[in-house]
Copies of this chain bind each other. A is one copy, B any other.
């Protein structure tokens, strides 16, 4: 009987109804609700039992209007189907709930300026207390700097902007680690399958790849752009084998690495003996590919957690200074990488 009876019949009881039943003022009810201690025990009991009788549930909307705080955190995201964003979202939601916040999601169809502005507008209108922006955007961030003037916001996975606190894993160094690993194995021709060019993370991973190669005196010319999907990784390999003959491939994410693995298998190129392969993300499937995928791990759960904590501090006006945090990812070596064939 937890949720009342009667087909949505009678109006939900308010604190006034409770007050009437308990024979007290509505303010006393409010005090009981908010655990004020200046309420005598008998009075509190009367109120509590009246609330129970009426199956009273406080109206969060009314509270939000009165206090100006909605206890809601807005999440501006893109494709919540992808592993990264999905993990972040999950982590953010968990952390937020623990802190008494509700999550309100707006997921954009595309990440152009227009959509972003609309998304933020929507969250402002809905009245969130703060915004977590899980956007991979690299530039065209025209409006973003102003968000923080209007509403607390933190940025994840996007290009750090001075005006907005941002949290990230260091994509550049993650990529560098992957490539250094390959170089240490003796590889000279190391290709890259990048993510979409307008994603900040894709750019950083690509930069890490290029920079590391150049630093070692190797050429960084074998590169094809994908869209994170296995399909694009598959296509990319077919393209790469025309462009030149790499002995190792650094894929921008695990999904594309998975597609690459398929293409290599079809081409009769065995991994890791003839081709080494590294991914990025360490998704749950990575250890179970054949061979197990060497990849770069980032603890997205921890990041999401940090992110919410920071945002809540901002909401409570605990000044935190200008924060641009970058965490370090970790390279995980599995079976997909091996010494380059010595010819």
Tell me whether B288 and A230 are in contact (CB under 8 A). yes
Copies in the complex: 2
Tell me whether A125 and B86 are in contact (CB under 8 A). no
Tell me whether B234 and A262 are in contact (CB under 8 A). no
Binds B, one of A147-155, A171-179, A186-194, A323-331: A147-155
On chain B, the residues within 8 Å of A106 by CB distance are 93, 97, 102-103
Tell me whether B70 and A81 are in contact (CB under 8 A). no
Tell me whether A285 and B93 are in contact (CB under 8 A). no
A231–B285 CA distance with the chains assembled, in angstroms: 8
Tell me whether B70 and A94 are in contact (CB under 8 A). no
Q: Does A143 contact B (CB under 8 A)?
A: yes
CB within 8 Å for A285 and B285 given contacts A81-B86, A146-B5: yes
Task: Look across to chain B and name the residue whose beta carbon is closest to the beta carbon of A314.
Answer: B8
Return the CB mask of A80-113 against B: 1 if under 8 Å, else 0.
1100001101100110010000111111010000
Q: Does A124 contact B (CB under 8 A)?
A: yes
CB interface residues, A 38-96, toward B, < 8 Å: 57-62, 64-65, 70, 72, 79-81, 86-87, 89-90, 93-94
Q: Does A290 contact B (CB under 8 A)?
A: yes
Q: Does A121 contact B (CB under 8 A)?
A: yes
Tell me whether B117 and A2 are in contact (CB under 8 A). yes
Binds B, one of A18-26, A207-215, A253-261: A253-261
Task: Look across to chain B and name the residue whose beta carbon is closest to the beta carbon of A230.
Answer: B288
CB within 8 Å for A80 and B89 given contacts A59-B127, A261-B288: yes
Q: Does A246 contact B (CB under 8 A)?
A: no
On chain B, the residues within 8 Å of A107 by CB distance are 90, 93-94, 97
Partner among B58, B65, B89, B262 whose Cβ is within 8 Å of the Cβ of A288: B262
Tell me whether A8 and B259 are in contact (CB under 8 A). no
* Further contacts, 10 of them, CB under 8 A, given A61-B127, A94-B109: A3-B151, A6-B149, A8-B150, A57-B121, A60-B126, A61-B65, A102-B104, A258-B289, A259-B288, A262-B289
